[in-house]
Amino acid sequence: MIVEELFVRTYTNPMLRRFICMFVKTREPQQWVFLVGCYNSGTTLLQHILSSHKNIAGMPREGVRFTSHLENLEHNGHHMVWAQDWREHATPSPDQSAYAAKEIMKDWSIFWKKGADIFLDKSVANTARIEWLAQHFPNAKFIGLHRNGYCISEGLHRRSKPPQWLVDKTGDSHYPLATTGEQWVIANQAMMGGLSKVDHSLIVSFENLIKDPISELENVFSFIGLKNTAMSFDGETLTVNEKTFSIRSPNAASLKRLGDDGAKVLKPIISSMMQELGYDD
């Protein structure tokens, strides 16, 4: 883990990355898989599970950290909340798109895994650029993961850190629930809109993944063309390709922390999207 973290810190530096890439061959996999969704939706868990497969290569952190051609959309010091002008920065400019895509592929090629023919990236900001990725990454497939908006809004309110200039302005060291609720809605609007316009997409519910991981993962692996993956689940621990993952739902605790007052704040903001995603509101 220490070696990995040292490399991550090195490779996120643009100048060092450009130097390292001089010695890396650009690779294009048979298939790209992009895992998208709002913050705290369970995308990291699903990324780790999928990356356990020998035919899937991927990165130790979000791919946007390892290239200068994609942005994380958290401008002006924001943390886990997109800046208001995020649409203006979601994709490279049309005249730079082809070049940017080639450079991104080169930047990511160092993470290639021997024997793998599928490359996976999990970046929250990619939720805003699904159509662009489909246009510039051959044979791309997209997996969208969603989770109960009340739970995510509570988690973002509790965990995300507003920039100091906003803390000074509002006197609050947390984003308001209304802001985190809006972030959940914006991300899911972008996800659902983008997935509806590409040829190969799959939508997964975090709640279903936790409730019945074997069935959901069989569906996911089949979607990306991998079958007969060895899996077992004892109710708490999931084993995939001899690697273990703790499977639990933090939703009940999150809803308890939110309380009735918090739910009343969020309801008018997230109710419509909750219904669209199939949740009881």
pLDDT tens per residue across span 186-205: 999 999 999 999 999 999 99
Q: Is the pLDDT of residue 185 over 90?
A: yes
CA distance readout (Å), 168 to 73, 156, 176: 22, 20, 14
Strand duo 231-233 + 237-240: pairing: antiparallel
CA distance 245 to 135: 34
Cα maximum dimension of the chain: 56
Q: What percent of the chain has pLDDT over 70?
A: 100
- Is residue 237, in this structure, part of any structural domain at all? yes
User: Mean pLDDT throughout 27-49?
Assistant: 95
- Is residue 252, in this structure, part of any structural domain at all? yes
Q: CB under 8 Å to 52, separation ≥6 — which residues?
A: 240, 241, 243
State the pLDDT confidence band at 227, using cuts at 50, 70 and 90: confident
pLDDT of residue 161: 92
Range of the structural domain that residue 101 is part of: 26-276
Average confidence score pLDDT of the chain: 95
Q: Is the pLDDT of residue 63 over 90?
A: yes
CATH code, domain carrying 30: 3.40.50.300
- Is residue 4, in this structure, part of any structural domain at all? no
CA distance 229 to 241: 7
- Is residue 254, in this structure, part of any structural domain at all? yes
Residue 79 CB: number of other CB atoms within 10 A? 13
User: Mean pLDDT throughout 131-160?
Assistant: 97
User: Mean pLDDT throughout 116-136?
Assistant: 97
State the pLDDT confidence band at 217, using cuts at 50, 70 and 90: very high
Domain count, the chain: 1
State the pLDDT confidence band at 129, using cuts at 50, 70 and 90: very high
Q: Is the pLDDT of residue 3 over 90?
A: no
